[in-house]
């Protein structure tokens, strides 16, 4: 039996990001406020249920060239008669094969719950990659949710989140969504009141940043100032946008901002254009600038597009997702 569903996978920004320590296994301990925004990818899922004992594999359609499609056949595996996961990404931006987080999320669901089905995913990619916006994680979250909705509607989000952390610390948050305090390696989530109404200009410079290298460089700094995350939580509870934004700080910008001066230039530009705050998201290099109104954000976006820095940037106007 064939079933279909479509899910929107929302990008995230970090309204505050602090690193509080390092675990024995090398993972960094974080304390951050995560916020979804309405910039999103769209994923259309088609699931065809098969016999419970069918073999599983992430393979291509017979005769299909998988280059750039995000999914490749396993060596020596015949697609005919086998369960398969086929991912189609017209942008060609998604990693190919089994390492794609969408394929891996579906695989985890199949193996954990003993499912047997063909899964086809058609991805419309809008979130920039390697941008500090959880683009891969949010697509994986959509895959967990879609397979659950189509085949296992009784499974709660909490169980999906426990499975998802195996693949990435941001994925449980992307399943939960909204405004959350994230702690531990990012998997311990506490619901917060929604971000007050505002508009956001999001800028993704062409230059990239290696997350692993950013954390290593931060460790080398030793002591550094820590953001007032508790103050931000208090401001959210009082629906105080100014109080929230006046405390926006991301310790990873100490590293990425130093190596990529364009980040600071973008922030300074939007502050001069009237932004209430401008800050890097995640490990970068994306910068978001927050305005009181959509009209102000659109005006600032238009002004930025006339600058020299804009030539190598992707620029969006977004809203928070509650």
One domain for residues 229 and 177: no
Q: Name beta bridge partners: 16.
A: 33, 249
User: Do 43 and 145 fall within a single domain?
Assistant: yes
Kindly tell me the sign of the dihedral angle through the C-alpha atoms of 35, 39, 40, 41. Answer: negative
Percent of the chain with pLDDT strictly greater than 90: 80
In a shared domain, residues 185 and 293:
no
Per the listing, tokens 């990873």 go with 252
Number of domains comprising the chain: 2
pLDDT tens for 214-273 read: 999 999 998 899 999 999 999 999 999 999 999 999 999 999 999 999 999 999 999 999
Is residue 38 pLDDT above 70, yes or no? Answer: yes
Closest CA to 288 of 13, 10, 11: 13
Check: CB of residue 135 under 8 Å from CB of residue 105: no
Cα distances (angstroms) measured from residue 34 to each of 9, 26, 94, 221: 15, 22, 24, 25
Residue position matching structure tokens 């009209």: 295
Same domain for 132 and 207, yes or no, is no
pLDDT of residue 173: 98
Q: Name the token pair of 47.
A: 């699931």
135 and 94 belong to one structural domain: yes
What pLDDT is stored for residue 60 in this prediction?
A: 36
Identify whether residues 53 and 183 lie together within a single domain.
yes
Domain extent, residue 251, equals 199-318
Residue 209 pLDDT grade (very low, low, confident, very high; cuts 50, 70, 90): confident
Instruction: Report the pLDDT value the prediction gives residue 68, as an integer from 0 to 100.
Output: 36
Same domain, 184 and 236: no
- Same structural domain, 208 and 172: no
Closest to 102 (Cα-Cα) out of 119, 117, 118: 119
Shared domain for 173 and 304, answered yes or no, is no
Instruction: Please state, in angstroms and rounded to a whole number, the distance separating the CA atoms of residues 265 and 85.
Output: 43
Q: Does 94 or 109 have the greater pLDDT score?
A: 109
Q: For residue 208, what is the domain's CATH number?
A: 3.30.70.890
Domain end point (choices 190, 225, 253): 190
Same domain, 219 and 258: yes
Q: How confident is the model at residue 128 (pLDDT cuts 50, 70, 90)?
A: very high
- Rounded to two decimals, what is the model's pTM? 0.89
Q: Which of these ranges, 140-154, 186-200, 211-225, 269-283, has the smallest mean pLDDT?
A: 211-225
Q: Is the pLDDT of residue 54 over 70?
A: no
Segment among 29-38, 205-214, 237-246, 303-312 with least mean pLDDT: 205-214
Least confident piece of the model among 55-69, 95-109, 264-278: 55-69
Is the pLDDT at 52 greater than 60, yes or no?
A: no
Which pLDDT does position 313 carry in this prediction? Answer: 97
> Is 65 in a helix, a strand, or coil?
coil
CA distance 42 to 143: 11
Where in 57-125 does DSSP place strands (E)? 85-89, 117-124
Region label for 132, one of left (φ > 0), alpha (ψ between -120 and 50) or beta (otherwise): left
- For residues 196-206, give the mean pLDDT: 97
Q: Given a cut of 70, is residue 55 above it in pLDDT?
A: no
pLDDT for position 74: 37
Domain end among 141, 156, 190:
190
pLDDT the model gives residue 75: 32
Average pLDDT over every residue of 272-299: 97
For the domain that residue 103 is a member of, what is the CATH number?
3.30.230.10
- Over 45-62, what HEC string results? EEEEECCCCCCCCCCCCC
Q: Which of 190, 223, 246 is the last residue of a domain?
A: 190
Instruction: Report the chain's mean pLDDT, rounded to a whole number.
Output: 90
* 233 and 170 assigned to the same domain: no
What's residue 82's pLDDT?
57
Q: Is there a single domain that holds both residue 170 and residue 55?
A: yes
Which sequence positions are flagged as catalytic?
12, 170
């Amino acid at each position: 039996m064939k079933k279909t569903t479509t899910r929107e996978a929302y990008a995230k920004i970090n309204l505050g990001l602090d690193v509080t320590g390092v675990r024995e296994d090398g993972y960094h301990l974080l304390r951050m406020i995560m916020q979804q925004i309405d910039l999103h990818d769209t994923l259309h899922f088609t699931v065809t249920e098969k016999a419970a004992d069918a073999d599983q594999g992430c393979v291509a359609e017979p005769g299909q060239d998988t280059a750039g499609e995000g999914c490749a056949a396993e060596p020596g595996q015949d697609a005919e008669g086998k369960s398969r996961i086929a991912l189609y990404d017209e942008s060609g931006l998604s990693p190919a094969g089994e390492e794609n987080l969408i394929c891996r999320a579906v695989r985890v669901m199949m193996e954990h719950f003993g499912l047997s089905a063909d899964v086809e995913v058609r991805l419309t990619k809008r979130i920039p990659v390697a941008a500090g916006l959880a683009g891969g994680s949010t697509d994986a979250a959509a895959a967990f949710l879609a397979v659950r909705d189509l085949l296992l509607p009784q499974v709660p989000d909490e169980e999906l989140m426990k499975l998802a952390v195996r693949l990435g610390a941001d994925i449980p948050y992307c399943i939960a969504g909204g405004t959350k305090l994230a702690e531990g390696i990012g998997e311990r989530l506490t619901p917060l009141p929604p971000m007050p109404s505002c508009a956001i200009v999001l800028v993704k410079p062409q230059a990239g940043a290696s997350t692993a290298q950013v954390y290593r460089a931060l460790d080398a700094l030793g002591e550094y100032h820590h953001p007032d995350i508790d103050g931000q939580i208090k401001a959210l509870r009082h629906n105080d946008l100014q109080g929230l934004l006046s405390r926006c700080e991301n310790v990873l910008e100490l590293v990425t901002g130093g190596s990529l001066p364009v980040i600071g230039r973008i922030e300074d530009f939007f502050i001069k254009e009237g932004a209430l705050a401008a800050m890097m998201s995640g490990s970068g290099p994306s910068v978001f600038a927050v305005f009181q109104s959509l009209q102000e954000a659109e005006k600032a976006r238009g002004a930025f597009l006339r600058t020299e820095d804009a030539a190598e940037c992707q620029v969006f106007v977004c809203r928070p997702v509650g």
